Chains A and B, each alone.
Chain A
Amino acid sequence: MKCQRCEKPATFHITDLVDGEPKELHLCEQCAHTFLSPEEEDASEVIPAMAGLIAQAAVGETAEDLARLDERVCPFCGISFLEFRKQGRLGCPHDYAHFSRELEPLLVNIHGETHHVGKSPRHSVRDAEQQTQLIRLRREMKQAVAGENYERASEIRDEIKSIESARNA
């Protein structure tokens, strides 16, 4: 199948919502990338594919609800949902948890699945929540040390230790 916008083969199959109607788009990697990340355009004018998918998932939600969703920001890396929609790239591992409800339909569209069944690391922290907690604490500790707030840093270190020992128990 050829890309609908150029001569290259289409490798991306995107369901977009146009006037509330789902529409299939078949694009090559390059055109899909352009389509998914409208750089200069005002995001309110275009409904990129991801927003279309989200609209599909959140039937009954109003435009204001969607606008509010765009404003949502990951507390760890600071990426907004709008930024993610525009560039198609997430800001940190925690985004998968933070935007899980919105990402789910997108994952279904891309992979037809939402559960990993392959290999897993032998040494990593398994619990995603604890993992992000550790990441946050390590960051805070670094900041505390940089700000010469050693008392706070040692409190955080104890907190990290207790999480890690609980994990290894």
Chain B
Amino acid sequence: MGLDLNELAQNCGEWLRGTGPEPDIVVSSRVRLARNLAEFPFMAKATEVDRTEIERILRERIDLLKEEERLPRNLTFLDLGELNELDRRFLVERQLISRELAESEGARAVAVDPQEQFSVMVNEEDHLRIQVMRSGLDLQATWDAANRLDDLIEEQVTYAYSDKLGYLTACPTNVGTGARVSVMVHLPALVITRQIDKVFRSLQKISLAVRGLYGEGSQAMGDFYQISNQVTLGLSEEELTKKVADVVPVLLDYERQARDFLVRESQETLHDRVSRAFGILRTAQTITSEETLHLLSSVRLGINLGLIKDVATPTINKLFIHTQPAHLQKLAGMELDSSDRAIERASYLRKHLASGGDGVAEN
């Protein structure tokens, strides 16, 4: 039972469906665990033979867990060396693998479940990167799921671990729990009111890290930010989860205050911004990925403030992903250069945002 990437491209992961708590601001919750096999050197010193062996062992053990029905049978192991560049980029856009894993060389793989709730990267910076994603603010359930998956895999292999330092990782910044607990938040009003820097400064004071989504070379595209723990040693996984969870209500409060302020103090400007964004997205004949993210962010805000009524948040969530370069090409069924993509993207947006007829199925 394979996983068809073309089919996967048609829909969107559970984590984007806006079903969890606080879906207007918290898009998703994520837990990532870094693990290494005790018998092998870390990636910096692993030979190609080591890498192949690591991949083989993990594939074998994961298959065994599937046979025993302790892992879902439809979990698919994808050999990244065998996938073409477009498919690998598609998986990055989908947040199922990291950019580093997509762009590296040699034996490497990812195990993905079709609901996209979890993925296991093999031979990334560490031998294993276990990732679980959930829609909305649901950190406890996300941690529980990651913990269970970790326990299952741990029954099959020997992790590099020391009583003093915990899980041993290639980079000392991950040692200890090896855990990154994060939430992806949409903070357009804090960006518009220029308060976002202030918020980040206070987050850093309590040693939380902030990253933009698709952050390469651009600051926080679409006003999405990933907030995660910086420290992995000296705090338990529960404490780390709590640390991130505790800050979310404060962020929600700030963002909502900023939204209230915009509605109160500059209603016309705000309405104008949202309407223009919606107008451009519905009529443009050619549009870049960057402009799309920017405008979709305003539309998403507009929906959440009740200024746009005929489109739903999950539709916009889906468009954020589907208008990315690799997704567009998968959906079009062909490779497109950047100017053809800009035309294809505009046409896709027109089709799915046309007034009266919202063509995006809420799957």
Seen from chain A, the residues whose Cβ lies within 8 Å of a Cβ on chain B are 1-2, 7-11, 13, 29, 76-79, 83, 87-93, 96-97, 103, 106-107, 110-128, 131, 134-135, 138
Contact = CB atoms under 8 A, between A and B. Distances in A.
A128 B219 CA distance: 42
Nearest to A6: B219
A120 B200 contact: no
Nearest to B168: A93
Given A119-B236, A124-B161, A91 B210 contact: no
Given A121-B159, A124-B154, A124-B158, A116 B42 contact: no
B42 A111 contact: no
Nearest to B177: A118
Contacts of A88: 171
Given A115-B164, A118-B177, A118-B237, A123 B154 contact: yes
A127 B158 CA distance: 12
Contacts of B154: 121-124
22 contacts: A9-B204, A10-B204, A11-B204, A11-B230, A76-B41, A77-B42, A79-B44, A83-B44, A89-B44, A90-B44, A90-B170, A92-B41, A92-B45, A96-B165, A110-B173, A111-B175, A115-B234, A118-B177, A122-B154, A126-B163, A128-B162, A134-B38
Contact of A111 (B162, B200, B234, B237): B234
B166 A120 contact: yes
Nearest to A2: B197
A163 to B, nearest CB: 13
Contacts of A124: 38, 154, 158-159, 161
B204 A1 contact: yes
B147 interface: yes
B164 A93 contact: no
Contacts of A78: 45
Closest 4 CB pairs of A and B: A113-B234, A116-B166, A91-B45, A93-B160
Nearest to B162: A128
Contacts of B204: 1, 9-11, 13
B83 to A, nearest CB: 25
Prevailing SS type, chain A contact patch? loop
A87 B44 contact: yes
A11 B205 CA distance: 10
B36 A122 contact: no
Contacts of A127: 163
Nearest to A83: B44
A89 B43 contact: yes
Given A123-B158, A124-B38, A11 B209 contact: yes
Nearest to A122: B154
Contacts of B172: 90, 103, 106-107, 110
A122 B155 CA distance: 8
Task: Give the interface centre of B41, B168, B176 by most chain A CB atoms within 10 Å.
Answer: B41
B235 interface: yes
Contact of A131 (B38, B179, B197, B233): B38
A131 B39 CA distance: 8
B35 to A, nearest CB: 9
A113 B231 contact: yes
B175 A123 contact: no
B45 A79 contact: yes
Contacts of B106: none
A144 B240 CA distance: 45
A76 B42 CA distance: 11
B161 A96 contact: no
A119 B45 contact: no
A1 B200 contact: yes
Given A29-B211, A90-B172, A116-B234, A121 B45 contact: no
Nearest to A136: B39
